[in-house]
Amino acid sequence: MSMKTLLWLVLTAELIFSLQVEANEKIVIHTNSYEPYYGEKMADFGPLLKITRLAFKESGYDTEIRFRPWARVIQEGEAGDCDVLAGMWFDTGRKEWAALTDAILENEVGFYKKKGDDLTFKDYEDLKAKKVVIGTVRSYLSPKGFDQAGLMTEEVTEDLLNMRKLVNNRIRLALVDRRLGSYLLKQEGRENEIEWLATLQRVPLRNGIMKRARGDWKKKLADFNRGLAKVKKQGVIRQVMKEYRLRP
């Protein structure tokens, strides 16, 4: 092989490599921890972020994930300091700076009761008449009609406190996401002490694409949704949920 040919091959390889690097744009994702859906200490950062990274990879993007307190996540997302805000339910009040992706997973919000309790759920009025005490979490969005029903509630700062109060007979119901409630007590070996009473609302769990970030947010949104559709079709989401031992 002549030196001229060798030099041509080296230059061609460098050009191909540089084009590949340019093609793989990096998506910066900001979020907080919300186990069992996503978390800094979870393997691959949990199912939502694993699916998110796979969906972006399908469309030729690399990803970088940074964990922040939720208030800071919102602040930085609004300012366009990241490309994606992971784990959004609604865009109410955020449409100027965030666009929601297609649904990735789903939150099933409702009531857990302690196993063996003969309480049944008919409607809010029935719970009110029976003076059932329900554990809620401060600043959480409630299912439709819940806040207006005049129910007896006790508010705490996090879901784990409610689940502990439930198994210790300090409240009769806990308003919580179904997977989350079970997951929290499983960490303490007490998941068999509760049972699901009623589903009140199903909420799609999505990502937010930041409109004020650098680049074309509409393209990022379309590319992510296209990649997500591919991994859904391939059965990846069901497989990921199985890996984390979570209900599909």
* pLDDT for res 4: 54
Q: Looking at domain 107-203, does it have CATH number 3.40.190.10? A: yes
Cβ-count burial of 191 within 10 angstroms (0-12 exposed, 13-18 middle, 19+ buried)?
middle
CA separation for the pair 164, 146 (Å, rounded): 22
When the candidates are 2.60.40.10, 3.40.50.2300, 3.40.190.10, 3.30.70.1170, the CATH number that belongs to 19-106+204-243 is 3.40.190.10
* pLDDT for res 22: 52
107-203 matches 19-106+204-243 in CATH topology: yes
Q: Where are the domains of the chain?
A: 19-106+204-243, 107-203
Taking 70 as the pLDDT cut, the residues of the chain under it are 1-23, 248
Alpha helices in 142-216 (DSSP H): 159-167, 178-186
CA separation for the pair 25, 63 (Å, rounded): 8
* pLDDT for res 89: 85
Average pLDDT, the chain: 91
CA separation for the pair 95, 103 (Å, rounded): 17
State how beta strands 62-67 and 105-114 pair. Answer: unpaired
Q: Which pTM value belongs to this model?
A: 0.80
Whether 12 and 19 have beta carbons less than 8 Å apart is answered as no
